[in-house]
Amino acid sequence: MADIAPAEFLYELWDANWDDGPMGNWQILQHPITKKTARRIYFAYSTGGHRAGYVDRQRIEADGEIYHGYTLRRLHLAPPEIPTRAKKPDLAELKAAMAAAHPDRGGSDEAFIAARDRYQKARRTA
């Protein structure tokens, strides 16, 4: 009995809310690889019907990812990490950073002004 080869894919990081701007609803799409040659990797789109495409094999194997200009997609050899949103600093952290940047404590005027602006902006939005 012949061994079944494991399925190979090209991966794409996709935001389900792409038309409203990045909302953080990330998904990893898998596009099955249909054929490999010395110069190209052919794949089928997992979205959009039964269309096929290809990428430059040397470039994607060297970099681990490639920008597929025809479909405006960034394709990866391995599943990419899903990005996380940075935690918003709370007012206490911003106040402490502002105090640490004060010129009397060894900070610069520019650093203190920037820290104070961040603190005041956070206070207004809170």
pLDDT tens-place string over residues 23-49:
567 888 999 999 999 999 999 988 766
Q: Please state the three-class secondary structure of the chain as a single string.
A: CCCCCCCCEEEEEEECCHHHCCCCCEEEEEEEEEEECCCEEEEECCCCCCCEEEEEHHHHHHHCEEEECCCCEEEECCCCCCCCCCCCCCHHHHHHHHHHCCHHHCCCHHHHHHHHHHHHHHHHHC
How far apart, in whole angstroms, are the C-alpha atoms of residue 58 and residue 92? 50
Q: Is the pTM of this model over 0.75?
A: no
Residue 51 has what pLDDT? 82
> What percentage of the chain reaches a pLDDT higher than 90?
43
pLDDT tens-place string over residues 94-111:
999 999 999 999 888 998
Q: Where are the domains of the chain?
A: 9-76, 91-125
- Is the pLDDT at 77 greater than 80? The verdict is yes
- As given in the structure block, the two tokens for residue 17 are 């809310």
